[in-house]
Amino acid sequence: MTQLLADALRKVGKLPEDEQNAIASQILATLEDEEAWDKTLRKNPAKLRKLAAKALDELQRGKTRPLDEIL
């Protein structure tokens, strides 16, 4: 375990139980989401390459905007 994670967990451990559970739920959901993306991308790496190529093409043609302009 990294020092940063240990520090974070130590701080979380000082919170009330309901807040600890909320943070734990968020962490678990994030890990599950990451696992799902990894599984999906491992299944079809050609699809990821195609999406990346399309994104680069749109960027080169000026068809993209910075995210902070959209939000």
pLDDT at 53: 97
CA 16 to chain centre: 26
pLDDT at 44: 87
pTM, rounded to two decimals = 0.62
Write out the chain's pLDDT in tens, 71 residues.
999 999 999 999 999 999 999 999 999 999 999 999 889 888 888 988 999 999 999 999 999 998 888 88
Burial of 23 (0-12, 13-18, 19+ CB in 10 A): middle
Which two three-digit tokens encode residue 51? 């999406």
pLDDT at 25: 98
DSSP notation for 3-55: HHHHHHHHHHTTS-HHHHHHHHHHHHHHHHHHHHHHHHHHH-HHHHHHHHHHH
